[in-house]
Amino acid sequence: MRKALLALSYFIFLSTVLFSTSCATIQEKNESTVKDVVEKYWLIRLEDNYRESYKSEYKEGLPSFDIYKDKAAAIKKIKIMSYKIKNVRIEGEKAIIDVEFSLLLPITVKPVHQILSDEWLYRDGRWWHIFPQ
């Protein structure tokens, strides 16, 4: 149990470091890169690190940080057991990512699977998440 916890802590730390350093470099406009960026984004969101995830949001139409944090934190009412990227479609400067979440709702005993279509935009050499309004 301790080894598993240590391994998970190391993975989260490494992912955060890699995400932080990837923000400073030009990202490729391809399926593999956007998939990696999305993985890192959701890992950070599920850690409740809203300051970091806010940096990945496309600024046009983005609410203030306080409003963003409240909306992003609303997802915590549902326990997310896991997530997996199911499909990536790149159409010009946009990418549509289907992310399947395994959720444990307060009224269910078994996890429920839900697919969310996440939108991303390629601008200025990097992928930006489009925060739903």
CATH of the domain at 113: 3.10.450.50
* pLDDT for res 15: 47
Which residue do the tokens 């010009």 mark? Answer: 92
Q: Which residues contact 125 (CB under 8 A, 6 or more apart)?
A: 26, 27
pLDDT at 45 over 60: yes
Confidence bin at 6 (pLDDT 50/70/90): very low
Q: Lowest-pLDDT range, 5-14, 42-51, 94-103?
A: 5-14
pTM > 0.85: yes or no: no
Q: Which domain holds residue 34?
A: 2-129
Q: Is the dihedral of CA 118, 81, 73, 15 positive or negative?
A: negative
Output DSSP code: residue 57.
B
Domain count, the chain: 1
With residues binned 3-state (H G I as helix, E B as strand, rest as coil), the percentages for the chain, rounded to 5, are 40, 30, 30
